[in-house]
Amino acid sequence: MSGYEMINSVLRMERGAATLLLTVVMLLTATLIVLFAASYSLMQQKIGANQYRNQKAYEAAEAGLEFGIVYLNQNSATILANPVLGKIPNFSNSSTTNVILGNGCQYSIVYSNPIAFNYQLILITSTGTSADGTGTKVIQQLVQFGSSFDNPPTNPMTIQGSVTLSGNAQVNNLTGSTTVITGSSLSMSGNADTNTATGGSNAGHTGSDVQTNVASVASMNSAAFFAQYFAGGSAALKNSANYYYTSNYANANGITGASIWVDQSASYGGNTTIGSSLSPVVLIVNGNLSVSGNFTVYGFVYVIGNFTSSGNAVVNGSLAVTGTMTGSGNDQTNFNSTILNTLKQLPSIGYYGRVGGSWKDF
């Protein structure tokens, strides 16, 4: 074999070895790539599964929080009962603890008050758990107690329509200067009069305590007139009323410290007393209201219609009417700010609402 052939043979062997080495390196690289891809894919699946479980736990916690606010509003007296050193005691039942949702996830709710002896600011902690128990999410929200009756009136009678007073009918405001505010006219006859600490009006004299033909009152739509006194709108208050009647409305006799919604025209007579000075009521009648006899109500009467009062009927607090008001006999409307402020503070009239900026998740 010549030297030239030997050189070519060596070169071929070197090229073969290089090719073999390169092939091994490429196979090893490909194997590593496949292993990495499989590992990465498995890791992504685990991450995706964890994210899915975490999302489901988060949704369960949110569901618990939404329910927890509603449940607090409906059961605050039970939840806040028997505090220990000014703190809310542990509260747990089937409605708040380990509640299973339709997808198998769960939530549990805990109520606490960050400030001892303050039961108007409540912290709701909702813990959501995924269906397999591996995902957990905690959400907190502060809620503050507020009154549905958030803007009590400052005079005894506000009427969008006309006002007619006769007989011995009286409208009294002995702590303020205004008695009647009406979007229309006021007519008084007989011994009917209005009274303040400094004067008043009667059939022969209309004083400064009476405001008639007030355009801003007459032009209000029903929602705006309602919003003068109540927060949240009429539908919300109707749905949250402690007592709701579509018939047999005379059952309201004897009710105290509550909101009452009568979803029809109503007539009260005889010996009827609703509310008391210490436990007044909100009485809303979605229709015409007629009262007579020895009818007495303590609180705020709101009539979505016309109001007719006669006999010895007495309203202690204030009256608002979207239609007309007719008072006769010994009818009295007595403004009482103490009763109205007591009404505003009653738990049965109030609600817990979210405190802006206090939502947290963990």
Q: Are residues 133 and 162 in the same domain?
A: no
Boundary (domain end) residue, out of 118, 146, 174: 146
244 SS3 class: strand
Token reading at 198: 């400094």
Token match 């004067």: residue?
199
Question: At which residue do the structure tokens 């000014």 appear?
Answer: 86
Are residue 137 and residue 165 in the same domain, yes or no? Answer: no
pLDDT at residue 248 in the model? 67
Residue 42: per-residue pLDDT: 75
Question: Is 221 within the bounds of a domain?
Answer: yes
Clarify whether residues 50 and 142 are in a common domain. yes
pLDDT at position 5? 59
Does residue 357 lie in a domain region? no
Q: Residue 174 and residue 197: Cα distance in Å, rounded?
A: 5
Task: With CA atoms as reference, report the closest residue to 230 among 344, 121, 334, 347.
Answer: 344
Q: How far is C-alpha 234 from the geometric centre of its chain's CA atoms?
A: 12
What type of residue sits at position 184?
A: S
Q: Which of 341, 302, 294, 296 is nearest to 316 (CA)?
A: 296
Per the structure block, which two tokens stand in for 225?
């007139």
pLDDT in tens, 318-357: 999 999 999 999 999 999 999 999 999 887 788 888 999 9
C-beta atoms surrounding 326 within 10 Å: 19
Asked if residue 295 and residue 178 are part of one domain, the reply reads: yes
Count of domains for the chain? 2
Joined tokens for residue 137: 């999410």
DSSP code of residue 250: G
Domain for residue 279, yes or no? yes
284 and 230 co-located in one domain: yes
Residue type, 54: N
Residues 125 and 210 placed together within one structural domain of the fold: no
Q: Is 266 helix (H, G, I), strand (E, B) or coil?
A: strand
Residue 361 lies in a domain: no
Per-residue tokens: 21: 């080495």
Count, residues in the chain: 362
Instruction: Establish if 59 belongs to a structural domain.
Output: yes
User: How are the residues of the chain apportioned to helix, strand and coil, as percentages rounded to the nearest 5?
Assistant: 30, 30, 40
Query: Is the domain of 163 the same as that of 121?
Result: no
Q: 162 and 305, same structural domain?
A: yes
Kindly state the tokens that stand for 146: 């507020």
Question: Measuring CA to CA, how many Å separate 187 from each of 194, 204, 313, 323?
Answer: 12, 10, 19, 15
Structural domain includes residue 218: yes
Location of structure tokens 């690289």: 29
Residue 130 lies in a domain: yes
DSSP for 2-39 reads -HHHHHHHHHHHHHHHHHHHHHHHHHHHHHHHHHHHHH
Segments in the chain below pLDDT 50 = none
From 126, 146, 166, give the residue that closes a domain: 146
CA gap 270, 168 in Å, rounded: 19
Domain of 8, in residue numbers:
1-146
* Among candidate residues 123, 146, 169, the one where a domain is terminated: 146
